[in-house]
């Protein structure tokens, strides 16, 4: 069976499986897409059913996402005390200051932050763009956010 047929046949099963584990529709969707992407890059050996194989891939991705999620929650808690960059992007008055700060930020921080916030790409795709891991993308994004916060705080302190 071709990957396209597998996708049509098993998409909802894999999505439902991921959803029961992560309990988040957006994350389950992302995991389902990544499952089929990894399956396409791998070779099915036939030691189990196609669905079992796909669910095993999805289970590993769910585990990784939940692990990363707990780290992300820790970062989010740390961010609550400081300036929230994502909120500032929504504030039009702050947008110019953010773009000016981003303009002088060094790579890869500038591009990773832009891809995540403005391009709304998942960390896995950002990592693939750079030929790195999803975790690398998460860490680089977090560092970029901290650099941006420090720059914006310094500028707001100058006023």
- Per CATH, is 82-159 categorized as 3.40.1390.10? no
* 44-58 pLDDT tens trace: 787 888 888 888 899
- Rounded to whole angstroms, the Cα distance separating 132 from 62 reads 19
Whether pTM > 0.85 for this model: the answer is no
For residue 89, give Cα distances in angstroms to 4, 37, 99, 109, 149.
Answer: 38, 31, 9, 17, 12
Assigned fold of 1-74: Rna Polymerase Sigma Factor; Chain: A (1.10.1740)
Residue range(s) of every CATH 1.10.10.10 domain in the chain: 82-159
Average pLDDT over residues 70-79: 48
* 88 pLDDT higher than 70: no
């Amino acid at each position: 069976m071709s990957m396209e047929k597998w996708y049509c046949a098993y998409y909802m099963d894999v999505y439902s499986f991921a959803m029961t584990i992560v309990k988040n529709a957006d994350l389950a969707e992302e995991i389902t897409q990544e499952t089929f992407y990894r399956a396409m890059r791998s070779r099915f050996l036939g030691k189990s059913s196609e669905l079992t194989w796909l669910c095993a891939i999805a289970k590993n991705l769910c585990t990784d996402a939940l692990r990363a999620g707990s780290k992300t929650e820790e970062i989010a808690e740390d961010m609550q005390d400081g300036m929230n960059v994502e909120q500032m992007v929504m504030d039009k008055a702050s947008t110019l200051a953010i773009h000016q700060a981003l303009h002088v930020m060094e790579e890869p921080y500038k591009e990773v932050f832009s891809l995540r916030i403005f391009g709304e790409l998942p960390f896995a795709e950002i990592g693939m763009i750079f030929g790195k891991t999803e975790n690398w993308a998460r860490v680089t994004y977090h560092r970029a956010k901290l650099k941006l916060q420090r720059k914006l705080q310094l500028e707001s302190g100058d006023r």
